[in-house]
C-alpha cells in the first residue's frame, strides 16, 4: 500500500526530477489525434447512458443513483485502504438526498464526512471550486483531526516541518519512493493557479479536463492526507459538469479500485515524466469507458430489487426485516445466520429467529445448505427477481 512519509535529504537528492520541478510546469501537452477516437467513443457512451437512465422512470433512476454513489464512496476509500460499512454509507446518502428508503441505519462520523464531501462535489458541481471549499472537504474527511493515530493539519495546506512530503511503499528502512510533492512554500501559488484553471474558460473537452484536474491536483498533493480521495472527487465534479447533471450512474472510483495497480503505475510514470500527458489521458479515457460497463450491473440490481418489492408488496415486514432484506438484495457479505441477524439488527437471537421464520413463511427466505450450527438463510429462488 502506498503511504505518505518523510525521508532524509540524502535520499531525496537521489530521486530523479518530477514534473513539477521542470521549467515548463504546468504546461501540460498531449496529442489530440491519438486521443480523438477514444474521446469520441467515451462521449458517445456517456450521452447514451444519460438518455437510457432518463427513460427508466424516477424511482428506478433514484435507486440506481443511490447504488452508484454508495459504490463510489466505498471504493474511493478502499483505494486508500479504508473500509467503510456499506449500509452506513447507503443510509447517509439516502438521508442527505431526501430519498424514501427502507431500513436506514445510523452512520458514524467518518462515514458522514466522506459522504458529505462526495455529495458536495457531485450535487453542487456547478459551484466554483475554491480553496475554502477544498478546506471544507478535507475537514469533513478528518473530523477528529487525525489520520489513524497521527495528528494532521486539517482544513489547511500541509507544512514541511516533518520533512518533504513523500509517497512511499515498502517496510520501514527499505522504503521505495514513488513521488515527492512540491515544497510547502509553493502550495499557495500552485493551488491558486490550479483553481483559476479549473474555473477558467478554455477550449479543453470537459472529460479531458476531468482527467487533467485529477492529475494536476494529486501532483500538487496539497494536504497532509486525503489527496487521492479529493482528487477523485474533483474528477467526479468535472465529469458532472461535462454532463450538466448531478445524477450519477457510473463510478470512476470503483473502476480505479479494480485497476488500482495500473492506476498507481501510470500516475507514477506521468509524475516522473515530462509534460506530455497523452498516456495518462488515454488511460483515464479507457478506464472511464470501462466504468460505464459497471452501470449494467447496477441496473440489473435495480431491476431485481424492483421485481422483488413488486412481488412482495403485500408482505408485512418490520423495520429489522426491511433492513435485512435490503442488505440481502444489495449484496450481503458471507452467510446470513441468526447470530449475524441479531448482531446487525441489535436484537436477541430469539427475536432474530422469529424474524427469519416469518420471512420463510412469507416465501422471502429459505434455509441454505447445511444445518445445526451451520444453519444459514438465503433469498428464496425467484424472490430476488
The string of pLDDT tens digits covering residues 251-300 is 999 999 999 999 999 999 999 999 999 999 999 999 999 999 988 888 88
Q: Kindly name the residue from 138, 178, 214, 221 that is annotated as catalytic.
A: 221
Whether residue 8 has pLDDT greater than 80: no
- Residue 263, annotated ligand binder? yes
* pLDDT (0 to 100) of residue 295: 85
Among 302, 328, 347, residue at a domain's last position: 302
pLDDT band at 384 (very low <50, low <70, confident <90, very high): low
262 shares its domain with 360 = no
Looking at the fold, whether 267 and 141 belong to one and the same domain comes out as yes
| Contact between residue 325 and residue 341 where contact means Cβ atoms under 8 Å apart | no
**151 in a known ligand binding site:** no
Is residue 264 marked as binding? Answer: yes
| pLDDT tens-digit readout, 326-371 | 888 877 778 899 999 999 889 999 999 999 999 999 999 999 877 6
End-to-end CA distance of the chain: 39
Q: Same structural domain for residues 93 and 195?
A: yes
Structural domain of residue 104, as residue ranges? 3-302
Query: Would you give the DSSP letter of residue 182?
Result: P
Residues 140 and 264 in one domain: yes
100 known member of a binding site: no
* Residue 73 to residues 91, 182, 304, Cα–Cα distance (Å): 12, 28, 23
Over the stretch 186-220, which tens digit does the pLDDT of each residue have? 999 999 999 999 999 878 999 999 999 999 999 99
Q: What is the pLDDT of residues 300-309, one digit of tens each?
A: 888 888 788 8
Residue 216 and residue 284 share a domain: yes
Compute the distance between CA of residue 191 and CA of residue 296 in angstroms, rounded to an integer. 38
Same domain, 231 and 373: no
Same-domain status, 347 and 254: no
The confidence band for 380, taking pLDDT boundaries of 50, 70 and 90, is confident
**One domain, residues 40 and 181:** yes
- Asked if residue 282 and residue 319 are part of one domain, the reply reads no
Q: Are residues 323 and 297 in the same domain?
A: no
Phi and psi torsions of 115, nearest 5°? -65, -40
Please state, in angstroms and rounded to a whole number, the distance separating the CA atoms of residues 148 and 171: 18
Indicate which CATH number applies to the domain containing 318: 1.10.10.10
Give 87's Cβ-side CA count (13 Å radius): 18
Strand order in the sheet with 166-169: 3-5, 166-169, 176-180
pLDDT at 16 over 80: no
Q: Is 90 annotated as a binding residue?
A: no
Q: Is residue 385 part of a domain?
A: no
Which of 302, 329, 347 is the last residue in one of the domains?
Answer: 302
Please indicate if the annotation marks 159 as binding a ligand.
no
Which of 268, 302, 336 is the last residue in one of the domains?
302
Burial of 169 (0-12, 13-18, 19+ CB in 10 A): middle
Structural domain count, the chain: 2
Is residue 221 annotated as a catalytic residue, yes or no? Answer: yes
Residue 199 neighbours by CB distance under 10 Å: 10
Q: In this structure, are 228 and 256 located in the same domain?
A: yes
Q: Give dist(CA 265, CA 12) in Å, integer.
A: 20
pLDDT tens readout for residues 57-99:
888 899 899 999 999 999 999 999 899 999 899 999 999 999 9
Asked if the structure places residue 308 within a domain, the reply is no
201 belongs to an annotated ligand binding site: no
* Closest to 69 measured CA to CA, from 50, 46, 97, 29: 97
- Residue 167 host element (H or E): strand 166-169
Do 350 and 235 sit in the same domain of this protein?
no
Rounded to whole angstroms, how far apart are CA atoms 127 and 372? 58
Q: Tell me the CATH number at 259.
A: 1.10.3290.10
Give CA–CA dist 359/343, Å, rounded: 18
Amino acid at each position: 500500500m502506498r503511504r505518505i512519509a518523510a525521508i532524509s535529504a540524502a535520499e531525496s537528492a537521489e530521486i530523479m526530477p518530477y514534473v513539477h520541478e521542470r521549467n515548463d510546469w504546468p504546461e501540460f501537452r498531449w496529442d489530440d489525434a491519438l486521443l480523438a477516437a477514444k474521446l469520441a467513443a467515451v462521449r458517445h457512451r456517456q450521452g447514451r447512458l444519460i438518455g437510457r437512465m432518463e427513460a427508466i422512470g424516477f424511482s428506478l433512476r433514484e435507486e440506481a443513483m443511490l447504488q452508484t454513489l454508495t459504490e463510489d464512496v466505498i471504493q474511493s476509500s478502499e483505494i486508500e485502504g479504508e473500509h467503510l460499512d456499506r449500509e452506513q454509507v447507503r443510509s447517509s446518502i439516502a438521508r442527505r438526498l431526501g430519498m424514501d428508503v427502507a431500513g436506514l441505519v445510523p452512520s458514524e462520523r467518518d462515514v458522514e464526512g466522506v459522504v458529505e464531501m462526495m455529495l458536495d462535489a457531485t450535487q453542487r458541481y456547478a459551484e466554483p471550486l475554491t480553496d475554502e471549499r477544498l478546506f471544507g472537504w478535507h475537514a469533513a474527511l478528518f473530523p477528529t483531526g487525525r489520520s489513524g493515530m497521527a495528528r494532521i493539519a486539517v482544513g489547511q495546506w500541509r507544512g514541511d516541518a516533518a520533512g518533504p512530503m513523500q509517497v512511499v511503499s515498502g517496510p520501514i528502512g527499505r522504503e521505495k519512493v514513488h513521488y515527492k510533492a512540491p515544497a510547502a512554500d509553493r502550495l499557495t501559488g500552485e493551488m491558486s493557479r490550479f483553481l483559476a484553471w479549473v474555473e477558467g474558460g478554455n477550449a479543453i473537452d470537459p472529460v479531458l479536463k476531468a482527467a487533467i484536474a485529477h492529475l494536476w491536483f494529486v501532483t500538487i498533493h496539497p494536504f497532509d492526507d486525503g489527496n487521492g480521495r479529493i482528487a477523485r472527487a474533483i474528477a467526479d465534479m468535472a465529469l458532472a459538469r461535462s454532463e450538466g447533471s448531478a445524477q450519477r450512474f457510473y463510478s470512476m472510483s470503483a473502476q480505479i479500485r479494480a485497476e488500482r495497480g495500473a492506476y498507481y503505475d501510470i500516475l507514477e510514470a506521468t509524475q516522473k515524466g515530462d509534460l506530455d500527458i497523452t498516456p495518462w489521458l488515454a488511460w483515464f479515457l479507457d478506464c472511464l469507458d470501462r466504468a460505464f460497463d459497471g452501470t449494467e450491473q447496477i441496473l440489473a440490481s435495480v431491476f431485481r430489487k424492483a421485481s422483488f418489492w413488486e412481488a412482495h408488496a403485500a408482505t408485512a415486514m418490520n423495520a429489522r426485516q426491511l433492513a435485512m432484506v435490503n442488505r440481502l438484495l444489495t449484496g450481503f457479505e458471507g452467510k446470513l445466520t441468526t447470530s449475524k441477524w441479531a448482531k446487525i439488527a441489535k436484537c436477541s437471537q430469539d427475536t432474530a429467529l422469529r424474524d427469519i421464520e416469518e420471512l420463510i413463511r412469507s416465501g422471502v427466505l429459505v434455509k441454505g445448505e447445511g444445518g445445526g450450527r451451520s444453519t444459514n438463510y438465503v433469498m428464496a429462488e425467484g424472490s430476488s427477481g
